[in-house]
């Protein structure tokens, strides 16, 4: 990322979506903020629910001309005509996903805090890698992706990088010079006013 550019927002859906009102809530966010990509990241394994959620989220995303990727489900990405997939196993599935989805699909992957996994994912054809969590979260074992990792990556590697997990204004302010995307999800959706929460966090990018 050049020093004159600010990171873009990579929006992550809540793990549980209420189909009756989430589409309108998502549309409100997309109407006021420039979003680079949306990740459908559901906590359920119920395929019917995933399919229905993907349909409604895709309709909103494409209405605003925003790319939509789905977490993990390469087959569903193909079946539903989504823009790509976000993997969660580092470099392990990148080549397979790229082969299945083709050269034009978005293939990204979460690499925890491992620069080694990130580099391998890039070599395997990932369009981006994400590291995290960067802040306090109940997920995982408490390990964090530190600023040094993003600083090193931004100086040494050309593949775009996403900072996600436990973001707050202070972390966003500190990582703005060294990341390409901020992956924001529960940070805004758990708020009574997701639009206001997103505006508050994106304002931190300006210092």
**Is 2 within a domain?**
no
Q: Are strands 35-40 and 67-71 parallel, antiparallel or unpaired?
A: parallel
Contact criterion met (CB below 8 Å) for 103 and 73: no
**Is 3 within a domain?**
no
Q: What is the DSSP string of 95-161?
A: HHHHHHH-TTSEEEEE-TT-HHHHHHHHHHT-SEEEE---S--SSTTS----HHHHHHHHHH--S-E
**Is 114 within a domain?**
yes
**Is 1 within a domain?**
no
Closest CA to 4 of 202, 176, 203, 200: 176
Contact criterion met (CB below 8 Å) for 66 and 84: no
φ/ψ bin of 90: left (φ > 0), alpha (ψ from -120 to 50), beta (otherwise): left
**Is 34 within a domain?**
yes
Q: For residue 170, what are its two tokens?
A: 């202070």
**Is 90 within a domain?**
yes
Note down pLDDT in tens along the chain; length 207 residues.
Answer: 444 589 999 999 999 999 999 999 999 999 999 999 999 999 999 999 999 999 999 999 999 999 999 999 999 999 999 999 999 999 999 999 999 999 999 999 999 999 999 999 999 999 999 999 999 887 677 899 999 999 999 999 999 999 999 999 999 999 999 999 999 999 999 999 999 999 999 999 987
Q: What CA–CA distance (Å, rounded) separates 67 from 199?
A: 21
**Is 70 within a domain?**
yes
Q: What CATH code is carried by the domain that includes residue 152? A: 3.20.20.70
Q: Partners of 87 in the beta sheet? A: 109
Q: For residue 21, what are its two tokens?
A: 């009102």
Q: At what angle do helices 147-156 and 115-124 cross, to 10 degrees?
A: 40
Reported as a single tens digit per residue, the pLDDT across 145-160 is 999 999 999 999 999 9
**Is 12 within a domain?**
yes
What is the number of domains present in the chain?
Answer: 1
pTM given for the model: 0.96
Q: Domain residues for 24?
A: 8-206
């Amino acid at each position: 990322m050049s020093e004159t550019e600010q990171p873009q927002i990579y929006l992550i859906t809540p793990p549980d979506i209420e189909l009756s009102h989430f589409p309108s809530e998502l549309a409100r966010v997309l109407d006021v903020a420039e979003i680079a990509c949306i990740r459908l990241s559901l906590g359920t394994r119920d395929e019917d629910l995933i399919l229905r959620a993907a349909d409604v989220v895709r309709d909103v995303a494409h209405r605003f001309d925003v790319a939509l990727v789905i977490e993990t489900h390469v087959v569903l990405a193909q079946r539903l005509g989504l823009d790509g997939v976000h993997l969660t196993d580092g470099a392990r599935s990148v080549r397979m996903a790229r082969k299945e989805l083709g050269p034009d699909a978005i293939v990204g992957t979460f690499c925890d805090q491992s620069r080694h996994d990130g580099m391998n994912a890039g070599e395997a054809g990932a369009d981006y890698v994400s590291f995290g969590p960067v802040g306090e979260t109940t997920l995982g074992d408490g390990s964090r992706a530190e600023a040094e990792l993003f600083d090193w990556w931004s100086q040494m590697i050309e593949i775009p990088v996403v900072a996600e997990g436990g973001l707050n204004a202070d972390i966003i302010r500190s990582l703005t010079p060294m990341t390409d995307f901020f992956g924001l999800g529960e940070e805004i959706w758990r708020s009574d006013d997701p639009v206001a929460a997103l505006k508050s966090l994106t304002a931190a990018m300006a210092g």
